[in-house]
Amino acid sequence: MLMVDGEGTPLSAFTTAASTSEVHAIETLVDNRVAATYPQHLMYDKAADADWLREALAVRGIALICPHRANRTKPPLQDGRAMRRYQRRYKVERTISWLHNCRRLITRWEYYPELFESLVHLGCLYTILKGF
């Protein structure tokens, strides 16, 4: 999982097991950030469409911007104005493609998860330093 700022600079990254649901790891991602303050907005895909997650992030002062699932039975909680920010989600995808320049991150060959996570952090550092 990866959290970036508005320009695509990595702020937080960590790895989880493939069987872990992403929606349960978002709070950990926000808590393990480099910046001292919480972000104002958090964009995510449809996997984060959970009311309990919206409430937990609202306590921290973060507005969750994600499209609602098609099978949602409860009334929608956000209108189209907030979804205009979702069009800039390409910056997150661009940062992920920058991390794929580090070929060891594309396919996980490491046996130990600590080693793979250190390579993810090294790839994020390389992405940050490449901008200077």
User: What Rg value do the Cα atoms of the chain yield, rounded?
Assistant: 16
Left if phi > 0, otherwise alpha if psi is -120 to 50, otherwise beta: which for 8?
left
When pLDDT is cut at 50, 70 and 90, the band that residue 119 belongs to is very high
Residues 20-33 have pLDDT tens digits of 888 888 888 888 88
The pTM for the full model equals 0.78
**Which residue has tokens 């104002």?**
40
Does the domain at 2-130 match CATH 1.10.3470? Answer given as no
